[in-house]
Structure 1
């Protein structure tokens, strides 16, 4: 029993600096924001009533969740294919995939967003090339809409989804796959009935990471959306720095944090966190 108690004390001492840092940098500022939400411009829950009744705020929330779901599906699907090649490919394929995964981390999100503008705008490379070969006569609307936002956000978040999925694939027991193959199952059937279910925890972990990151995106939607696909983070910025309506911006922030916490609690309730990494 003494050993267990000493272990807990050692763990608490090791975690104390991290907990102190999180408290100073996140908990205290969040409590301040929560206080603004019920005191500005006057005490009460009026700002939360606005969240429920204001069609503009409701439409932004719906758009945000719609975009985040689409980004999560695209990112996880692409990350799964990349992870399979990274873990089970040839040495040359693995090296190539590693470069593709790591290089985006060296490029800022702002640079990537403007890069997609150069590619997808009406006079961008894609529209110019399609018009030059006669495929289209008028430029396609690829930016300043939800499509451009989804493309830019997915490009940024795919590398983050790769790691939990790749970890799940590496932990697969090859004997199970060999047994399925020995019983005459085709590659397609092995993938859908054995390989994919055994990596489900990695998929759930990747989806959670991508969805939570996507909820707080600001730069990419602001640039690629062009003000026409406003998401929650941009709405908070507009309410605090341009309206100004600090109370409503704070209320939106509190609801967003609570929603993310509830989502993580639900996922952790049904999925073992240790199997996500």
Structure 2
């Protein structure tokens, strides 16, 4: 015990029971999911073998990955522009923009989704306005397809893309950009050669955050997709609540977990994850 006290701060002994409880409550469900994926309905890797046997399952996974990639590209691109504008605008304007950004986190995803349905539906405000002014003869199919799902997901994910980028940009030393311009670089050269590389950790963090969160979308594809755009999260719900195929649902959940861990591992091969999530570079 004396040896432990020399190497471990006494404070750790106080919070150790709570840490063990949190670890147990967090790891137990994950381990249970992994166990179900190889034991239900029978022991073995039959559930994972479905990935090579079921075209429908592969199509659902590919649809999910494709939509998440497109969502990430648009969300991070728009988020970078918004963060850049917030950093370089007047402090009062920045406060307004930050308030609106944080306000979006308090609005339910269900409210946002149905708002888009009312705006872009066949009888929605947008189609109605376009028909009234004579630009279109028939309503445009914004909803109940991948376009509608993408609109809803990008709208929801932009605030998550902005925050890591905003933190990264605010941490930059503006004197570096000033020095670049003083040495004769144009604004475009300063951005591409100095500013963008320095904000790369925030860009990676934003990309990872948006893509990982997009993988678990359920409400938006279900409502705006109208049952025509089936993603993994919704398919897992069907397997659990309708067909009662817990093994298949657990396999898909485990696959998503392994995919996220694999992305983090690959990213760690190229850069320190501590810098991505705001830690020191060393």
TM-score band, normalised by the shorter chain? Answer: over 0.9
Which residue matches 1:6?
A: 8
3-state SS of paired residue (1:148): helix
How far apart are residue 213 of structure 1 and its match? Answer: 0.3
- How far residue 23 of structure 1 moved from its aligned partner, in angstroms, is 2.6
* C-alpha displacement of 1:153: 1.0
Q: Counterpart in 1 of 2:269?
A: 269
How far apart are the structure 2 equivalents of 1:180 and 1:95?
A: 28
- TM-score normalised by length of structure 1: 0.93
Q: Shift of residue 2 of structure 1? A: 9.4
How far residue 220 of structure 1 moved from its aligned partner, in angstroms, is: 0.9
Report the CA distance shift for 1:22/1:132 in structure 2 as closer, same or farther (over 3 A).
Answer: farther
Runs of 4 or more, structure 1, over 6 Å off, are: 1-4
Q: Which residue is equivalent to 1:208?
A: 208
CA deviations 1:136-160 (Å, max 9, x no partner) are 1111111111111111111111111
- Rounded to whole Å, the distance in 1 between the matches of 2:140 and 2:20 is 50
Q: Which residue of 2 aligns with 1:254?
A: 254
Residues 192-226 of structure 1, C-alpha deviations (whole Å, 9 max, x = no match): 12111110110000000000000011111111111
CA distance in 1, matches of 2:215, 2:92: 36
Q: Give the TM-score taking structure 2 as reference length.
A: 0.91
> Equivalent residue for 1:132?
132
Kindly provide the CA deviation profile for residues 229-267 of structure 1, in whole angstroms up to 9, marking residues without a partner as x: 111000101111111211111111111111111112222
- In the other structure, the counterpart of 2:159 is 159
Worse overlay, 90-99 or 66-75: 90-99
Q: Does 1:28 align with 2:31?
A: no
Alpha-carbon distance in 2 for matches of 1:190, 1:136: 44
- Residues matched between the structures, number: 275
What is the match of residue 121 of structure 2? 121
Q: Which residue of 2 aligns with 1:95?
A: 95
- Give the structure 2 partner of residue 230 of structure 1: 230
SS at 2:8's partner residue? Answer: helix
Distance across 1 between alignment mates of 2:131 and 2:272: 51
The answer (yes or no) to whether the contact 1:168–1:275 under 8 Å persists in 2 is: no
Contiguous gaps of at least 5 residues in structure 1: none
